[in-house]
Amino acid sequence: MTDSKTKISYLGIPGSYSHQAAHECFPDGSFSGFTKFDEVIKAADSGDADYAIIPVENSSAGRVTEVYNLLPSVKLNILGEHLLPIHHCLLVSYKAYRGWLPHEMEPSQAIAWKESPLSKEEKEEALSKIKQVHSHSQALLQCTKYLEEKLPKAGTVVDFDTATAARALAQKEDKKHAAIASRHAADIYNLLVVDDEIVDDPYNMTRFLILGRGEQMEYDEDTPMLTSILFQTNHTPGSLLGALKAFADNNVNLTKLETYMLSRDLTDPTFYVDVGTALHHPDMQAALKEFKKYTTSCNILGSYPASPHRGEKNSFLPVKAK
């Protein structure tokens, strides 16, 4: 019997934010984690995965440069986006706090105690005992205020990602180590939450792209759409201005513009733009006709539904149906 589940490639291990995003997009999927972004993309390009899901920018940390540098060589289409709220938690070892019964209990009491969250007193004890906090560098940075206020004497240790820190913590039995990761990771590795929502920016959010070999979505006037374009211009006065003015002249709005540094592979001025209109909309087609007069190359990376969560107390500009 063949496995009919949709296969998804993502960065990291179970419990990572990429893993969480993949689960939210494909609840019944089969997931394969990789340690490098290019490996995530290659899995979908080769057919080993049906889709790849990759983070491209965070509202606090900015763009994921490595992913943007890979986009010029990607052969897959962008088929969707997913906005994931980032809710960091301070986690401690289950074994350290629920490994041994504090006193003799009836079996039912023991089960209830082992499944219970930390009490207020246990949380206070945890904060007094923690000497090291492990996590990804960005997660540690995004929780600076909390760490300075609640754990001013604790050191920080950088791990590959938040899930790696959570997985390692699950093997420890002492109270001096903690990790910053998601509640999703806490559930997977059976960790206890000391505090949740510890991130400095309560509206912290990461944007993920869904890549696949499928065709671009047809124009639907009731669905807010984005079209992502990678293009190059001549290095002459007015080239970029002329290209972008083509959208304004045709009532097409932009939501994002990124500039690439020149390199061995990118010898002309190169830009990435997200446009808040479907590729096949008449206004977009008219804009592209004019746009191409000012560009030396134009690669449509994808035309796909915009996340409905854009503009909901986050830095991602909303997109209206057109």
- Ordered DSSP codes for 197-211: ---SSTT-EEEEEEE
What superfamily does domain 89-195 belong to in CATH? Periplasmic binding protein-like II (3.40.190.10)
Q: What whole-number percentage of the chain has pLDDT above 90?
A: 81
**1 falls in which pLDDT band (50, 70, 90)?**
very low
Highest mean pLDDT among 58-67, 72-81, 112-121, 209-218: 72-81
Q: Which residues of 240-278 are buried (b: 16+ CB within 10 A; e: fewer)?
A: bebbbebbeebebeebbebebeeeeeeeebbbbbbbbbb
Domains 1-85+204-214 and 89-195 share a fold: yes
Residue extents of the structural domains in the chain = 1-85+204-214, 89-195, 216-315
- % the chain with pLDDT above 70: 98
Residue 2 has pLDDT above 60, yes or no: no
Phi/psi of residue 112, each to 5°?
A: -60, -40
CATH class for the domain made up of 216-315? alpha beta
Position with higher pLDDT, 220 vs 165: 165
pLDDT, average across residues 144-150: 97
The CATH classification number of 1-85+204-214 equals 3.40.190.10
pLDDT band at 222 (very low <50, low <70, confident <90, very high): confident
Give the distance between the most distant pair of CA atoms in the chain.
80
Which pTM value belongs to this model?
0.90
